[in-house]
A and B are shown apart, each in its own frame.
Chain A
Amino acid sequence: MSEVTERNQNRWPFVIVIVLAVLWLVPVYAMVVTSLKTQTEVANQQYLAPPAAPQVANFGAAFSPLRRGIINSLIITLPATFLAVLIGSLAAYYLIFFQFRYATLVFFAIVFASFLPYQVVLIPLTQLLNTLRLLDTYAGLIFAYLIVNTPMAALIIATFFMKAPKSFLEAAAIDGCKPFPFYRMILVPMSIPGIVSAAILVFVQIYNEFLLALALTLSPAVQPVMPTLASLRGSQVAQWQIQMAGAIIVSVIPLLVFIFLSRYFISGLMAGYSKE
């Protein structure tokens, strides 16, 4: 404790952090104030000045073309996240609590799969979905996201399962607890923080994803929100206030998740990527 107070006497690191924090926030500040300005105000390019009267109508103008995309994104992201976490947790359960000769090999296959760029499967995936007549459908996108995100979900949940107190689990086994009730009634309730971490990381990843969303959809009827935002950008050239309002609107969901569940978001990142 004395070490912390002693180190706190140094003020210059604090100054550096504040300077960097301001640099990090200026673009966001400009984005927010600009999203509330009129076209004339934007044309004046006084981006750091606050708006004379907040133009909430900009958000309405940006929301109507994005609405379908947001709904589509939720229709795709919610079931894909649920299934990825369910399938991933079952796999993690098996790999950690059952004797299995090839567990290390399967782990390797899963870890390797979690980090591959999507480009590596994009073309065959397009053809597979095309053959199954699932191109440009919700089911097709959900399937695509499951393939690329379930390995990461399994990885994060496995990290948390390993941390579950062993003595308690052993007691349950000695009392004759069967494997499935053990998973459902003991392991999952005990590992809620890990499951929530995996769920939010996968949720944010899918919601924010762009490449698959762009390549595997053709019509606005199923297109998720990120390609929709990209086309809004194309149709509103130099209408910065509308573009910024649109960018803010699509960020609301992941930012709320980040603000209210940041502890889980961070522990998910740590478990998934850094094995701390």
Chain B
Amino acid sequence: MMFKKSYGFIYLTPMAILVVVLYILIAWNLVASLTLWNGILPTWHFAGLKNYINLFTFNRFWDDLRHNLIWLVVFIVPTTFLGFILADFFSSMKRSEKVFRQIFLFPMALAPVVTGTLWAWVYDPGSGVLNSVIKAFGVNTARLGWIADPRIAIYCMIIAGIWQYVGFAVVVYLGAIRGLPTEMYEAARLDGAGRVRIMFSITFPNVGHGTLISTTMLAIFTMKVFDLVYIMTGGGPGDKTEVLPFLMYQIAYSQRDFGMGTAISIVILVLAAAMVIPYSRWAISKWVQE
């Protein structure tokens, strides 16, 4: 059923205004990144790629981009894998399911600031939970710096991220697994396939759209990691846990270099768009089918 009234456009108008403002802001950002800045205000004198050249000759930028790539791989793979395994288990459990599922889902309702506060304490080298538990076993913890150790700090932070977001992958896979026909499993079982075999050679290949959604959404998340870095380390030790979204805030709001700040945000836009555009097209094509 469809209404054809032209005045119906009034229903879309408030949303249209907000979306237009959003896209104007993005365009503004793009143009401003090509101009000279006077403190916090663009002078609107065209400067070509000056802000970008400054950025691309800035070592911290490349370090941070590399840290974003580490997040991309080290965060997404375990989160998706754990999410799939847990969802597979939950989908074959009965009543006990709900309680256990909630244990993995509730961190998603917590603010990243809260997760950061909690895990900063877990990892604190002097008085943290982890070292105090290890000490109880009589191990010398003096060399276990965790979040203060430049070699492993970023991985420690990523574990906090996995802790918070695994529930998302669980939810996505639960939906996907529920949609699978049960005959498939019966046939496999008649052929004598074991549980692990069924999980990886039947369930997993048939929930490809779940894997696509989970990895894409988590990938987009890695392009906005800010709260955990701000709360847990402030980017340190050195710049070992600094990522682009954090660099953008630091450069623009702490160092007041808005010219470079806009350039970083355009880099973030390009990286995020590379993930969001194909995903949006896919999601819409699924929608149009219905």
Binding site for B on A (CB under 8 A): 3-4, 6-8, 10, 13-14, 16-18, 20-21, 24-28, 30-31, 42-43, 45-48, 87-88, 90-91, 93-95, 97-100, 104, 106-113, 115-125, 127-128, 146-148, 150-151, 154, 162, 166, 169-170, 173, 179, 183, 204, 207-211, 214-215, 226, 229-230, 233, 238, 240, 243-244, 246-247, 250-251, 254-255, 257-259, 262, 265-266, 269-270, 273-276
Residue of A7, A10, A118, A257 with most chain B CB atoms under a 10 A cut-off: A7
The smallest beta-carbon distance between B26 and chain A, in angstroms, is 6
A3/B182 in contact, CB under 8 A = yes
Among A150, A209, A258, the residue within 8 A (CB) of B109 is: A258
Which residues of chain A come closer than 8 Å to B90, judged between CB atoms? Answer: 17
B81 at the interface (CB under 8 A from A): no
- In Å, the complex CA distance between A47 and B107 comes to 20
Among B189, B217, B280, the residue within 8 A (CB) of A111 is: B280
A247/B3 in contact, CB under 8 A = no
The smallest beta-carbon distance between A221 and chain B, in angstroms, is 19
B220/A117 in contact, CB under 8 A = yes
Cβ-closest chain A residue relative to B7: A179
B100/A17 in contact, CB under 8 A = yes
Which residues of chain B come closer than 8 Å to A259, judged between CB atoms? Answer: 106
- In Å, the complex CA distance between A7 and B269 comes to 46
Cβ-closest chain B residue relative to A166: B1
Interface residues of B in 90-108 (CB under 8 A from A): 90, 92-94, 96, 100, 102-108
Which residues of chain A come closer than 8 Å to B85, judged between CB atoms? Answer: 16
Which residues of chain A come closer than 8 Å to B195, judged between CB atoms? Answer: 7, 10, 13
Binding site for A on B (CB under 8 A): 1-5, 8-9, 11-12, 14-16, 18-19, 21-23, 25-26, 28-29, 32, 40-41, 82, 85-86, 88-90, 92-94, 96, 100, 102-114, 117-122, 127, 129, 132-133, 135, 163, 168, 171-172, 175-176, 179, 182, 185-186, 189, 195, 210, 213, 217, 220, 223-224, 226-227, 230-231, 245, 248-249, 252-253, 258, 261-262, 264-265, 268-269, 272-273, 276-277, 279-281, 283-284, 286-288, 290
- In Å, the complex CA distance between A259 and B110 comes to 12
The smallest beta-carbon distance between B254 and chain A, in angstroms, is 11
Which residues of chain B come closer than 8 Å to A275, judged between CB atoms? Answer: 213, 283, 286-287
The smallest beta-carbon distance between B125 and chain A, in angstroms, is 12
Which residues of chain B come closer than 8 Å to A274, judged between CB atoms? Answer: 171-172, 175-176, 210, 213
- In Å, the complex CA distance between A56 and B128 comes to 22
The smallest beta-carbon distance between A261 and chain B, in angstroms, is 10
B249/A211 in contact, CB under 8 A = yes
Cβ-closest chain B residue relative to A107: B284
The smallest beta-carbon distance between A174 and chain B, in angstroms, is 9
Which residues of chain A come closer than 8 Å to B163, judged between CB atoms? Answer: 24, 27
Interface SS of B by simple majority: helix
Which residues of chain A come closer than 8 Å to B210, judged between CB atoms? Answer: 274
Which residues of chain B come closer than 8 Å to A6, judged between CB atoms? Answer: 189
The smallest beta-carbon distance between A205 and chain B, in angstroms, is 10
Among A106, A127, A251, the residue within 8 A (CB) of B110 is: A251
The smallest beta-carbon distance between B171 and chain A, in angstroms, is 5
> How many residue pairs at the A-B interface have CB separations less than 8 Å?
295
Complex A-B: 22 CB contacts under 8 Å: A13-B88, A24-B103, A27-B122, A30-B129, A87-B15, A87-B18, A97-B2, A98-B8, A99-B3, A100-B12, A116-B272, A121-B26, A121-B29, A162-B290, A211-B249, A230-B113, A233-B117, A246-B117, A251-B109, A262-B102, A262-B105, A273-B172
A99/B281 in contact, CB under 8 A = no
B281/A119 in contact, CB under 8 A = no
- In Å, the complex CA distance between A93 and B12 comes to 8
Which residues of chain B come closer than 8 Å to A113, judged between CB atoms? Answer: 19, 22-23
B114/A229 in contact, CB under 8 A = yes
The smallest beta-carbon distance between A252 and chain B, in angstroms, is 11
Which residues of chain A come closer than 8 Å to B9, judged between CB atoms? Answer: 94, 100
Known: A113-B19, A251-B110. A8 touches B272 (CB 8 A): no
B231/A179 in contact, CB under 8 A = no
Among B15, B25, B223, the residue within 8 A (CB) of A128 is: B25
